[in-house]
Amino acid sequence: MPRLPGPRAASLLTLSLLLLAVALAAVAIADGESTRRVRDGRHAFISLRGGASDLFVRPASGGPAVALTDDAAPDAEPAWSPDGGRIALTSERAGNPDVWLIDAAGGEARQLTRSPAVDQHPNWSPDGRRIVFVSRRTGHSNLFVLDVEDDGVRQLTDLRGVVAFPAWSPDGGTIAFTIVQEIDFARTSQIAVVPVTGGDVTVLTRDPGLNHQAAWSPDGARIAYTHVPEGHTPLERSMIAVIPAGGGARTLLTDHDWADFDPSWSPDGRRIAFVSNRDGLRQIYVVGADGSNPVRVASDAHDFDPAWTGEE
């Protein structure tokens, strides 16, 4: 039976996930677009093109990228507000990883969290009023919910292990995230869900290895995620998988001897963008939600953390 890790295992798993996060953050990728035209669609992404990791926005149909931030401190993990008007991100510009907010048209960034602990992985509620994020302010990593208007923070989970990569369901009722567990004494990370109102955590996956980076389909029926087989590192071999949101058998959309990770659904739910190093360069590919017709989107820059917005 799966169980939460004890203190020693949790410490080792924390180190493992931190190494995973560092490895993924160093990956150079490009941005992609859906197979259908996205009206007024834009991609937000982080780029190293200026020497520091800054936030850029580019039209999904192509065209020049516009820098929204220009700071020596690292920016990462952009997340569009549902109306496309604002972008939440993780930034160290105040000296510590915190959640910040910036207008999609540019301007000064506003600091939302001020904990001395690490605050990261922001993700918006569908109504645009709240942001879920991960913080270690209790001594363990847990999920917290922040009210965007008054900066009020509520703790959602009370776990003594490691959590990461929260993702809000389209109906606003559930949050998917990565949870570290032991299965038959082997350390793994799995995809789990928890009600926004709090309550029991339900683990959806039971696969050895690493399972992380959950992304809800627009209709809330499926969750795409990254699966790293046991015995492999994330940048050595990883796959894009999809599982029913209520649990069930997984479907592998990619299964090759290279790294595919960081899935993101198109607004119409027909395509999934992901990062791949299959051609020797780490770039964005777009694949059908059934695994068909993978298409590479070329880039000549070190870009990562893509996020989609727009109407169909």
What pLDDT score was predicted for residue 37? 24
Backbone φ and ψ of 292, nearest 5°: -90, 155
Q: What is the pLDDT of residue 306?
A: 57
Neighbours of 30 (CB within 10 A): 25
pLDDT value at residue 67 = 82
Tens of pLDDT, residues 61-88: 667 878 888 888 888 888 889 888 999 9
> CA 192 to CA 220: how far, in whole Å?
15
Q: Are strands 163-168 and 186-195 parallel, antiparallel or unpaired?
A: unpaired
Tell me what pLDDT residue 266 has: 86
The domains located in the chain, with CATH, are 7-33+43-59+68-311 (2.120.10.30)
Between CA 194 and CA 199 the distance in angstroms is: 7
pLDDT score of 162 = 87
**Predicted pLDDT of residue 308:** 62
Please, which pLDDT band fits residue 39 given cuts at 50, 70 and 90? very low
Cβ atoms of residues 130 and 86 within 8 Å: no
- Give 169-211 pLDDT, tens digit per residue: 999 999 999 998 665 555 789 999 999 999 999 999 988 889 9
> Is 41 in contact with 58 (CB distance < 8 Å)?
no
The mean pLDDT of the chain is 80
pLDDT at 295 over 60: yes
Sign of CA pseudo-dihedral 54, 87, 32, 287:
positive
Residue-wise pLDDT tens digits, 136-149: 998 889 999 999 99
**pLDDT value at residue 25:** 37
Q: What is the pTM of this model?
A: 0.79
Residues 6+ apart with CB under 8 A from 145: 130, 131, 132, 153, 154, 156, 196
